[in-house]
């Protein structure tokens, strides 16, 4: 917390998730240190002497564990893109915690062991621990017998290792993938879409009808609706809904609720409803009806619209997609006025007068302000609502003319002044039924100067990268993943054979996911390369880092199988869980290899050295694995609001540890022996190898 405060970090979902994972990491170094000291106390040494010998013997191992684990976090710190920035603090918090735990384990822990551990018989209150020690002894005995059998059947074990590598690659290619898991936060946003020519009053009634239908659902706590063009609604034919669900303990899952809400709104005619859950992490900057977007842009608007319609129609046929929609709004109704400029000139009516009259009728002209003691009210000039929806208003609107002898049409309604100077009608909209000749200036009906016709017009013209653009939005259909949806859209895009001037691609979360597909593989490879380099420097060897890295395939198989069993796609959280697994499972191999190297340097043969190392390090390996597994269980089993974001991380860690723990206890000694034989062969052919025992010992 102190380093986090100094670095300007805060306690949020990601830093708390890192601290949860760290609880299984930070105790590992202390477990290894204490177990080694206890082993010497059990051999009859005094606590102080055992602490000195044990800490000196295990110090380099702890250093190797910590440095290699921090090396795993380096690719997370350098992860590109939005997701990289998202997990930057996560990686830093883990790095800080692990570094401090190593420092404490090398200093404070041995001192506490020297003063607190007692030799001899256990006190009465510690007798249950004696029972557990007997359990570990039986486990170690069974492991020793099985290890002897494995070392006698090394080719079979190597076949298992090779199969784990193949299965890991196959599962990674086959497993569905996504960017971030969908969360059930109890909040849903909806978009109500109607015909593009709809007027505001009709749109208001339909949105209210949809909101009323949603409120009838037993799992809905409240619904808020927003109508009108603004920051939420780009066009008038769209309305926004905010739906608040009841607590998760009193309702079914989000998928069932979304399906039922869609069905309840299907009874409202003339509208389409698009729903999507609110997420804690949102990567989209555009307001859209659905979760993912695909954009087409072209300088030629007509060509763009033509291909956008074809693309949207093709995407609606894909089973992987649901709620396909586009923001192409080119079928709104508009009233076009064709002005007879010659007649307007003869009557002395400037174009500015016509513009001002139309703005007075349909615009938002402020003509006055009413001041009161507490507030002020702006007075807006416009015609009454009943006159705004038909072309007959052109016969009732009049414009001032400066020409002599202009004839005012009978039954005309003047706008701005009375029809006659002798009329008693007050200034404003008045009736003139006399039809007189105005000399020296008067008014004429607007219909004498202009003819009206209805036409189609765009409600909005969208741009992307300063080019006209059409955004096609979509959701992923049930039973499919985002990777399958992206692949299907990519195939349709290739079949469309777009012209060279038209550009297409994903934006928002879908674009980030497409970029992450390549980044994920590079991230894992970068973690492996960094660990190999660090271990090579620590052990001054090219061979032994390969032994340690051989533990990774089984961890990958376990993590991917766990995600598949629980029906989770491989998301960024799962990838980070696999990267953390790299740091966890390699600890087992480091503890074995480190002791085996020391034993070989003392003159022991490789077979006896690795066998002894495996048995000696069996207890700390089991303890550190159990600590890491139990530390990840709260993430895997959590069911609170937003837990979907954390669950893939915990599931991948738990699944990977369960399988890798079983496999690596046997594959690591076998691979160690094969690599020692390879190193001896290199030495026999005059190729120098570093960090190993002498060739005679080998």
Q: What is the DSSP annotation of 523-588? A: HHHHHHHHHHHHHHHHHT-SSHHHHHHTTHHHHHHHHHHHHHHTT--B-HHHHHHHHHHHHHHHHH
Q: In the numeric block, which tokens belong to residue 513?
A: 């996911």
Mean pLDDT of 600-614: 86
Spatial contact of 143 and 665, defined as CB atoms under 8 Å apart: yes
Q: Could you read off the pLDDT of 358-410 as tens digits, one per residue?
A: 898 888 899 999 999 999 999 999 888 777 766 677 778 888 887 544 444 33
Cα-based torsion angle of the residue sequence 209, 211, 216, 218 in order, rounded to the nearest 10 degrees = 160
Contacts of 575 (CB under 8 A, 6+ apart): 520, 523, 524
Backbone angles phi, psi at 413, to 5 degrees: -105, 115
- Residue 618 pLDDT > 90, yes or no? no
Lowest mean pLDDT among 127-136, 346-355, 665-674: 127-136
Query: What's the pLDDT at 111?
Result: 92
Which helix (H) or strand (E) is 145 found in, with range?
Answer: helix 127-152
Mean pLDDT of 644-655: 87
Spatial contact of 272 and 210, defined as CB atoms under 8 Å apart: no
Q: What is the DSSP letter of 420?
A: S
Cα–Cα distances in angstroms (integers) from residue 210 to residues 215, 243, 263, in the given order? 9, 11, 11
Q: Determine the distance from the C-alpha atom of residue 366 to the mean position of all C-alpha atoms in its chain, rounded to a whole number.
A: 47
Q: Could you read off the pLDDT of 11-44 as tens digits, one per residue?
A: 887 888 888 888 877 888 888 888 888 888 888 8
Helix (H, G, I), strand (E, B) or coil at 20: helix
Query: What's the pLDDT at 407?
Result: 43
Cα–Cα distances in angstroms (integers) from residue 685 to residues 351, 481, 560, 695, in the given order? 98, 53, 41, 12
- Own/partner long-range contacts of 462-469 (Cβ < 8 Å, ≥24 apart): 462/234, 462/327, 464/295, 464/297, 464/507, 465/297, 467/297, 467/298, 467/299, 467/503, 468/297, 468/298, 468/299, 468/301, 468/304, 469/295, 469/296, 469/297, 469/304
Query: What's the pLDDT at 209?
Result: 92
How far is residue 499's CA from residue 152's CA, in Å, rounded to a whole number? 65
Mean pLDDT of 185-194: 88
Query: What's the pLDDT at 131?
Result: 53
Query: What's the pLDDT at 418?
Result: 34
Cα–Cα distances in angstroms (integers) from residue 535 to residues 100, 538, 601, in the given order? 20, 5, 18
Spatial contact of 433 and 409, defined as CB atoms under 8 Å apart: no
Q: Could you read off the pLDDT of 67-107 as tens digits, one per residue?
A: 888 887 777 777 766 667 777 888 889 889 989 999 999 99
How far is residue 261's CA from residue 269's CA, in Å, rounded to a whole number? 15
Residue with token string 């295990």: 58
Residue with token string 């399958």: 484
How far is residue 288's CA from residue 325's CA, in Å, rounded to a whole number? 9
Provide the pLDDT confidence category of residue 236 given band limits of 50, 70 and 90: confident
């Amino acid at each position: 917390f102190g380093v986090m405060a100094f670095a300007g970090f805060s306690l949020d979902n990601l830093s708390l998730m890192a601290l949860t994972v760290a609880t299984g990491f930070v105790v590992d170094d202390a477990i290894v240190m204490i177990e080694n000291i206890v082993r010497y106390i059990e051999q009859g040494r005094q606590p102080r002497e055992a602490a000195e010998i044990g800490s000196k013997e295990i110090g380099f191992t702890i250093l190797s564990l910590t440095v290699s684990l921090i090396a795993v976090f380096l690719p997370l710190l350098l992860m590109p893109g939005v997701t990289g920035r998202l997990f930057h603090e996560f990686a830093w918090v883990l790095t800080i915690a692990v570094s401090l735990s190593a420092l404490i384990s090398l200093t404070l822990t041995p001192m506490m062991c020297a003063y607190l551990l007692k030799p001899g018989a256990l006190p009465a209150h510690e007798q249950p621990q004696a029972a557990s020690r007997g359990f570990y002894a039986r486990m170690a005995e069974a492991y020793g017998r099985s290890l002897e059998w494995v070392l006698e059947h090394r080719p079979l074990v190597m076949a298992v290792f090779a199969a784990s590598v193949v299965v890991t690659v196959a599962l990674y290619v086959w497993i569905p993938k996504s960017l971030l898991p969908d969360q059930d936060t109890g909040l849903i946003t909806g978009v109500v879409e109607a015909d593009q020519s709809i007027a505001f009053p009709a749109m208001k009634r339909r949105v209210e009808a949809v909101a009323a239908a949603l409120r009838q659902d037993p799992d809905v706590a409240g619904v808020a609706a927003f109508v009108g063009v603004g920051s939420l609604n780009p066009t008038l034919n769209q309305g926004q809904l905010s739906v608040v669900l009841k607590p998760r303990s009193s309702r079914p899952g989000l998928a069932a609720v979304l399906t039922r809400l869609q069905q309840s709104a299907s009874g409202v005619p003339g509208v389409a409803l698009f729903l999507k859950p609110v997420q804690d992490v949102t990567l989209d900057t555009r307001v859209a009806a659905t979760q993912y977007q695909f954009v087409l842009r072209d300088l030629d608007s007509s060509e763009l619209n033509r291909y956008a319609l074809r693309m949207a129609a093709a995407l609606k046929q894909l089973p992987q997609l649901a709620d396909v929609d586009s923001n192409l709004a080119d079928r709104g109704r508009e009233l076009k006025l064709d002005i007879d400029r010659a007649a307007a000139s003869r009557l002395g009516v400037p174009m500015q007068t016509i513009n001002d009259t139309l703005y007075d009728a349909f615009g938002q002209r402020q003509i006055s302000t009413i001041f009161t003691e507490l507030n002020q009210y702006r007075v807006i000039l416009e015609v009454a609502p009943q006159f705004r929806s038909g072309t007959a208003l052109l016969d009732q609107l009049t414009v001032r003319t400066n020409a002599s002898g202009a004839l005012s049409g009978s039954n005309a309604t003047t706008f701005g002044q009375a029809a006659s100077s002798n009329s008693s009608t007050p200034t404003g909209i008045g009736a003139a039924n006399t039809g007189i000749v105005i000399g020296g200036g008067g008014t004429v009906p607007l219909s004498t100067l202009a003819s009206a016709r209805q036409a189609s017009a765009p409600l909005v013209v969208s741009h992307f990268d300063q080019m006209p653009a059409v955004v096609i939005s979509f959701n992923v259909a049930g039973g499919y993943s985002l990777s399958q949806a992206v692949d299907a859209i990519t195939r349709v895009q290739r079949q469309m054979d777009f012209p060279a001037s038209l550009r297409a691609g994903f934006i928002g979360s879908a674009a980030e996911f497409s970029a992450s597909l390549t980044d994920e593989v590079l991230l894992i490879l970068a973690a492996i390369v960094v660990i190999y380099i660090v271990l090579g420097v620590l052990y001054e060897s090219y061979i032994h880092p390969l032994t340690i890295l051989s533990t990774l395939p089984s961890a990958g198989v376990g993590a991917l199988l766990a995600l598949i069993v629980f029906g989770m796609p491989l998301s960024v959280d799962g990838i980070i869980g696999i990267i953390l697994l790299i740091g966890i499972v390699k600890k087992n191999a480091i503890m074995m290899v480190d002791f085996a190297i020391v034993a070989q340097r003392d003159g022991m043969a490789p077979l006896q050295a690795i066998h002894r190392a495996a048995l000696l390090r069996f207890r700390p390996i089991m303890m550190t694995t159990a600590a890491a597994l139990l530390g990840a269980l709260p993430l895997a089993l959590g069911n609170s609001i937003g837990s979907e974001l954390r669950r893939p991380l915990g599931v991948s860690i738990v699944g990977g540890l369960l399988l890798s723990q079983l496999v690596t206890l046997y594959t690591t000694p076998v691979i160690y022996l094969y690599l020692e034989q390879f190193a001896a062969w290199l030495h026999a052919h005059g190729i120098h190898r570093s960090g190993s025992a002498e060739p005679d010992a080998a």
